[in-house]
A and B are shown apart, each in its own frame.
Chain A
Amino acid sequence: GAVVSQHPSWVICKSGTSVKIECRSLDFQATTMFWYRQFPKQSLMLMATSNEGSKATYEQGVEKDKFLINHASLTLSTLTVTSAHPEDSSFYICSATTGYTGELFFGEGSRLTVL
């Protein structure tokens, strides 16, 4: 099956720094990628949808200046958490799809801890 890889799996950073998380589709071209945030013992909350070459569409309540999403190619999307604070600590998961009603393939997730 299609593989989506996230990097890094774990990251610890100091408050005020920026952190970049990469999401790569390894063996297919992802027309659309999604970024989710998951709090402990809770469901996934969609943050934004990104299509290759265009600006990401953010869900209501998600700060676009805080969570910068770039989808520069059909195999790579990045999420940058800018000026991170402890409340940004969370599990971030990306997913990618190949088409209109295509199955979503999920990355392994990236756990961010902001000290």
Chain B
Amino acid sequence: AQSVTQLGSHVSVSEGALVLLRCNYSSSVPPYLFWYVQYPNQGLQLLLKYTSAATLVKGINGFEAEFKKSETSFHLTKPSAHMSDAAEYFCAVIHILTGGGNKLTFGTGTQLKVEL
């Protein structure tokens, strides 16, 4: 079964600094991986997804992630943090269900704090 592990439940960076949120996956088949962002009391918004095309995936709001099979990682990065990036970030992997359909499994989340 596919799963993801997010290292670090809280990450704090200074405004303008590099953002690095870590995600490692476990999968017996080529995975489809996602990063979502959640602002307080809201649903989830897709930042980016990896679906076995380019290993470097660019998403919204300046975020990108690189799929590294050798490291089973899919870390999320942003060159320069902005105050508005403060939110909860979830890494997720998709299961393709027998007979069709899919199911998404989330990591435990990383709370990003951006300080002045």
Q: How far is the CA of A4 from the CA of B43 in the complex (A)?
A: 10
CB distance from A44 to the nearest CB of B (A): 5
The answer to whether B102 and A101 have CB atoms under 8 Å apart is yes
Number of interface residues of A (CB under 8 A): 26
State whether A106 and B45 are in contact (beta carbons under 8 Å apart), knowing that A44-B90, A101-B96 are contacts in the complex. Answer: yes
For residue B107, which residues in chain A have a CB less than 8 angstroms away from its CB?
43
Whether A31 contacts B46 in the complex (CB less than 8 A), given A43-B90, A101-B32, A101-B96, comes out as no
Name B's interface SS. Answer: strand
CB-CB under 8 A from A100, the residues of chain B are: 96, 100-102
| Contact pick for B94, options A31, A51, A101, CB 8 Å | A101
Chain B residues within 8 Å of A49, by CB: 101, 103
A-contact 0/1 string along B93-116, CB 8 Å cutoff: 010100011111111110100000
Roughly how many angstroms separate A98 CA and B41 CA in the complex, as a whole number? 25
Query: Could you say which interface size class chain B belongs to?
Result: 20 to 34
* Stretch from A67-75, A82-90, A107-115 forming part of the interface with B: A107-115
When chains A and B are docked, how far (Å) is the Cα of A43 from the Cα of B36?
11
* CB neighbours of A46 from chain B (8 A): 103-105
Cα separation A46 to B107 with both chains bound (whole Å): 12
Q: Mark A22-63, 1 if CB is under 8 A from B, else 0.
A: 000000000110100000011110100101000000000000
Indicate if the CB atoms of B101 and A106 lie closer than 8 Å.
Answer: no
B42 contacts the other chain (Cβ, under 8 Å)? yes
For residue B44, which residues in chain A have a CB less than 8 angstroms away from its CB? 44, 93, 95, 106
Q: 13 A-B contacts, Cβ less than 8 Å apart?
A: A31-B101, A41-B111, A43-B107, A43-B109, A44-B90, A46-B103, A95-B43, A100-B100, A100-B102, A101-B51, A101-B102, A103-B46, A106-B44
